[in-house]
C-alpha cells in the first residue's frame, strides 16, 4: 500500500488547507485537495474516492476534480460514502445551485454519468480494486467515518476527523498487520476546549488515543490547522514518542 497525504501546494509541509489521501494511485480518501493540487494526469487515474464526511475541507475539490477529469469515454468516478453523507452532498453541493446535479444529469439517456455514489455500511468490508476497505464510525460534529485499508497482509487506518473514541481502537487492536494509523491533530493543547467542542484532537488527546492500541503501530498526525501547525508539531515532538510522527504532505508512506 502506498499512501500519500496530498498537500495544498507542491512542497512538503506540515499544514494543509484541506484534506485528501492518495492510495496506490487509483483510490483516494477525501477530496479536499485532489482537484486543486494534484497534477492532472494523476487526477485522471483516480477511479474511487472514499469520503469520511461532508465537511468542506474534505469535499471542496470534488466538483472541480470531476470537471477536470471528465471524458465521455471514462467510467464514472465512484464516490463511496455513507448514505447520510451522500444525501448531504446531493442536497448542498450537487444541488443545481452550488454545482450542477451531476447525478440527475447522468441519469439522462444521452449523457455519460460523471460520478456515482456507492453507499457503504459501517463495519461491512467491501473491495475497491485489490484493497479491502472497512468503514468505522468516529465521533465528530457530523456523521464521520474512518477507513481500514487492507492489502496483501498490510494494513493501515485512515481516521476521519474525530474526538476521543473507542470502537475504532478495538478494531485496530484486532487487525493483523496494522502498522500505520493516520489520525488528526487539529489544535494545540491550549485550545483543548475548542477541540472538545468541535470534536477534534490535540497532541495530548492523540497520545491518550494511541495508548488504546497495543503493539508496534506508528501514528501519523495530519489535519494540523494551518494557523496552529507549527505549535502542534512542536507539541507532538515534545511527547517524545518515536511512534508518533507528523505527516508531511506529498511524501509517500509505503505500508508493508
Ligand atoms: Zn470535519
Ligand atoms: Zn476536517
Per-residue pLDDT tens digits for 63-103 = 999 999 988 888 999 999 999 999 999 999 999 999 999 98
**Average pLDDT value over all residues in the chain:** 95
The CA-based diameter of the chain, rounded to the nearest angstrom, is 59
Cα(55) to ligand 1 centroid in Å equals 5
Of 39-43, 163-167, 248-252, the poorest mean pLDDT is in 248-252
Proximal ligand: closest to the CA of 144: 1
Read off the pLDDT of each residue in 145-155 and give the average, rounded to a whole number.
97
Cα(62) to ligand 2 centroid in Å equals 15
Cα(220) to ligand 1 centroid in Å equals 18
How far apart are the C-alpha atoms of 153 and 1, rounded to whole Å? 10
Above 90 in pLDDT, residue 40? yes
Could you tell me what percent of the chain has a pLDDT over 70? 100
Cα(60) to ligand 2 centroid in Å equals 11
How far apart are the C-alpha atoms of 79 and 49, rounded to whole Å? 5
pLDDT at 207: 98
CA 92 to chain centre: 20
Return the C-alpha cell found at 170: 478495538
Residue range 100-113, pLDDT digits in tens: 999 888 888 788 88
Cα(15) to ligand 2 centroid in Å equals 12
| Nearest CA among 83, 25, 26, 28 for reference residue 58 | 28
| Nearest CA among 168, 157, 156, 161 for reference residue 142 | 161
Amino acid at each position: 500500500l502506498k499512501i500519500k497525504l496530498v498537500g495544498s501546494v507542491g512542497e512538503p509541509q506540515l499544514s494543509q488547507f484541506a484534506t485528501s489521501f492518495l492510495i496506490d494511485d487509483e483510490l483516494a480518501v477525501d477530496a479536499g485537495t485532489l482537484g486543486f493540487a494534484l497534477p492532472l494526469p494523476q487526477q485522471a487515474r483516480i477511479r474511487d474516492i472514499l469520503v469520511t464526511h461532508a465537511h468542506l475541507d474534505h469535499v471542496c475539490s470534488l466538483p472541480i476534480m470531476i470537471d477536470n477529469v471528465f471524458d465521455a469515454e471514462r467510467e464514472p468516478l465512484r464516490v463511496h460514502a455513507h448514505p447520510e453523507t451522500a444525501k448531504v452532498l446531493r442536497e448542498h453541493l450537487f444541488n443545481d445551485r452550488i454545482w450542477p446535479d451531476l447525478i440527475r444529469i447522468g441519469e439522462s439517456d444521452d449523457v455519460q454519468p460523471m460520478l456515482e455514489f456507492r453507499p457503504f455500511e459501517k463495519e461491512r468490508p467491501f473491495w475497491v480494486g485489490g484493497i479491502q476497505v472497512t468503514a468505522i464510525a468516529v465521533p465528530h460534529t457530523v456523521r464521520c467515518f474512518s477507513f481500514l485499508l487492507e492489502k496483501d497482509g498490510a494494513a493501515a487506518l485512515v481516521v476521519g476527523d474525530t474526538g476521543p473514541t473507542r470502537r475504532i481502537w478495538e478494531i485496530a487492536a484486532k487487525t493483523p498487520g496494522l502498522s500505520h494509523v493516520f489520525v488528526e491533530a487539529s489544535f494545540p493543547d491550549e485550545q483543548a476546549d475548542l477541540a472538545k467542542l468541535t470534536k477534534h484532537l490535540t497532541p495530548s488527546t492523540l497520545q491518550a488515543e494511541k495508548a488504546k492500541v497495543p503493539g508496534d503501530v506508528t501514528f501519523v498526525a495530519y489535519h494540523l490547522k494551518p494557523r496552529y501547525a507549527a505549535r502542534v508539531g512542536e507539541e507532538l515532538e515534545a511527547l517524545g514518542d518515536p511512534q508518533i510522527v507528523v505527516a508531511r504532505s506529498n511524501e509517500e508512506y509505503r505500508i508493508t
